[in-house]
Structure 1
Amino acid sequence: MPVVDGINIPEDMKGSLKASNKRDSVLGVRPASETTEAEHATIEAHPKPLWTRIRASCREAFSEFFGTMILVLFGNGVVAQVVLSNNQKGDYQSISWGWGLGVMLGVYVSGISGSHLNPAVTFAMCVFRKFPWRKWPVYAVSQILGGICAAAIVYGNYKSAIDAYEGGPDIRTVPGYSDTASAGIFCTYPAEFMTRTGQFFSEFVASSILMFVIFALTDSGNMAAGPLMPLAMFFTIFGIGACFGWETGYAINLARDFGPRLVSYMLGYGTEVWKAGNYYFWVPAVAPFFGCTFGGWLYDMFLYVGPESPTNMPYLGLRRFVKPGAEKHHNDHSPV
């Protein structure tokens, strides 16, 4: 008679015991360390479902997609409510609050991927934090698609209000071309007095502040935000909007601006979405990359002491472009 855990088990119960153990292992009610080799073989004989495997390989892309979608849903949603109600259901500060909340919740949603939510932020992470360059296109496309889907959802939700505000279901106008323009719900348009240089500088400054603060909040050698990062990002975006957002709408994000702008064009707002503000559309697409890169460089050059940044490498990391293996030995201690 076999003995299990000091208890005598009759021979005729051995089969039932093995079946029960196998079932418990599959259901996860028994520690994996107690699973026998035979049971492991049985479990591995049943491959994971196709969608489970797809999700495992695309999880970071999905994370950036849904994080950016949440960001733009709240951001475009609050602008729609303020504009379409003629400031009866909010004002400019409400917009700052809405975008701040959108970023905070987007960060919570996309923690799996690092919560970039912005192609320019991902770009700066590649330059200064050794984030893999091969992931940049995947992140950027996911973020832009998230912004596109969010803008389409907001339009569907507020279509009746847009019809009433514009004066009819076939009327869709852009700021600068109408007193009842609703295109500003989806993407940014500059104030009429802004010059091309002023437009670029405004977006550059806001993007620089954004990246500088992000690096400060994630620097373990500084007063890093840790689990309070989403809340810290809420105040960061709220502050940028409240202090630097009036002139250009503080897009500071290609995915947040270009994606919804493309949606508005496809929904019938016309070519004016590209022509408005003296062809302003390219400014929020380009300036954030320069601004985030400069803000990241500024933080690393004067405050950051970690080994990941090229500012802390010999010759500011430029030697690796001449001799690709030159920095390898120097960075052997790097955790990245």
Structure 2
Amino acid sequence: MAHASKSSVSQHHHPRSSTTAGYANNGQVAIDVAVSQYKQARASQGSNFVNSGQAILEETNKSAYSGFAVTPYTPRRQIDQCEQALHNTNRSQYRIEDDHEERWYVTKSPHLRECFTEFLGTFVMICFGMGVNNQVVLSEEGNGTWLSINMAWGIAVLMGVYCSEGVSGAHMNCAVSFAHAVYGRLPWWKFPGYCVAQTLGAFLGACTIYLLDYQKLMKADPNKETTQANFATYPNPDISNVTAFYSEALATSMLLLCIYAITDQRNRSPGTVGTPFAFCLMIMALGMSFGMNT
């Protein structure tokens, strides 16, 4: 009777114990059902379902990038069972991958992949950045203001990081690549390729926006005397070249300082999810703080 009474008291004081166990059992059942559905789909299709950018859902827990050449920035994290079940329930992200499917172009060179992604990330960043510059200036602030320029540039960097961070580290700036090479984060032999890719991506992005706004540019500045500042950095007429150089040097120093502080794992790092957003806020702050002189 004493044992029965003690058990009754325990159940009376802990009514959630059975509920918690029920939640756990329900979660395990959901995982088992999802895995079972995935295996049945594989058996019926005779091919592997592949998540379009996150993970190859195999029992062997291979990396999402196992079919490509490895780079220093290739994610090493494996997908656990809970995450597999989550991915298995989202059928809209799957495609059927045939063993005999011919891919349009896949390079086996890790460095070439890094250069391609630096090109893409820089291109995306410049398209958004130059786009907002021209929109605000050519509309005479009718379709934007100084604030929208800085906010759009921050978002431009955010989108560029998302396009290239997983493969090349998303430098998108020769100064960043140079600093990484100096501090041993980037081999020196990779530095020229990064710079060439970033430069080509920037010029192609600028050309894309130039073609987009060509008619407006010709109407606003037929002699091409004032709108060059939409595409490049020029000193303010009220300051000297020395002040302009100091302004750019200070802004670049702050850029690199913040990048190293944000990505330092021994510091209060925002993590892999928060880092791109921290870069976005940093670019906004730099534009709002140091953008007046140049």
Match of 1:40 in 2: none
The size of the alignment, in residue pairs, is: 205
**1:233 maps onto 2:279 in alignment:** yes
Match of 2:131 in 1: 77
Superposed CA offset, 1:258-296 (max 9, x none): xxxxxxxxxxxxxxxxxxxxxxxxxxxxxxxxxxxxxxx
**1:163 maps onto 2:218 in alignment:** yes
| 1:1-336 superposed matches below 5 A | 24=46, 27-28=47-48, 51-53=105-107, 58-111=112-165, 112-166=167-221, 171-174=222-225, 181-226=226-271, 227-248=273-294
Over the residues paired in the alignment, what is the CA RMSD in angstroms?
Answer: 2.5
CA contact (8 A) 2:158 2:276 kept: yes
Residues 232 and 32 (structure 1), Cα distance of their counterparts in 2 relative to 1, 3 Å cut: closer
Please report how far the alpha carbon of residue 164 of structure 1 lies from its aligned counterpart in structure 2 after TM superposition. 2.1
Please report how far the alpha carbon of residue 64 of structure 1 lies from its aligned counterpart in structure 2 after TM superposition. 0.4
Unaligned runs of 5+ in 1: 1-20, 34-44, 175-180, 249-336
Residues 222 and 88 (structure 1), Cα distance of their counterparts in 2 relative to 1, 3 Å cut: same
Name the SS for the 1:189 alignment partner: coil
Q: Within 1, Cα distance between the matches of 2:130 and 2:138?
A: 12
CA contact (8 A) 1:100 1:235 kept: yes
Superposed CA offset, 1:150-206 (max 9, x none): 00100111111112212xxxx2423xxxxxx21111111110122121111100100
Amino acid at match of 1:229: T
Please report how far the alpha carbon of residue 58 of structure 1 lies from its aligned counterpart in structure 2 after TM superposition. 2.0
Superposed CA offset, 1:83-142 (max 9, x none): 100111112111111111111111111112101000110110111143111110011000
Range that drifts further, 101-110 or 48-57:
48-57
Residues 200 and 54 (structure 1), Cα distance of their counterparts in 2 relative to 1, 3 Å cut: same
TM norm structure 1: 0.57
Deviating 4+ runs (over 6 angstroms): 45-48
Q: Within 2, Cα distance between the matches of 1:31 and 1:193?
A: 63
Superposed CA offset, 1:9-37 (max 9, x none): xxxxxxxxxxxx9x94xx3369687xxxx
Q: Within 1, Cα distance between the matches of 2:290 and 2:208?
A: 28
Amino acid at match of 1:187: A
Q: Within 2, Cα distance between the matches of 1:31 and 1:81?
A: 48
CA contact (8 A) 1:172 1:182 kept: no
Residues 172 and 67 (structure 1), Cα distance of their counterparts in 2 relative to 1, 3 Å cut: farther
CA contact (8 A) 1:84 1:161 kept: yes
Name the SS for the 1:53 alignment partner: coil
Match of 2:85 in 1: none
CA contact (8 A) 2:235 2:241 kept: no
Please report how far the alpha carbon of residue 229 of structure 1 lies from its aligned counterpart in structure 2 after TM superposition. 1.0
Amino acid at match of 1:134: W
Q: Within 1, Cα distance between the matches of 2:242 and 2:132?
A: 29
CA contact (8 A) 2:122 2:202 kept: yes
Amino acid at match of 1:183: Q
Q: Within 2, Cα distance between the matches of 1:100 and 1:79?
A: 13
Residues 108 and 47 (structure 1), Cα distance of their counterparts in 2 relative to 1, 3 Å cut: closer
Residues 95 and 46 (structure 1), Cα distance of their counterparts in 2 relative to 1, 3 Å cut: closer
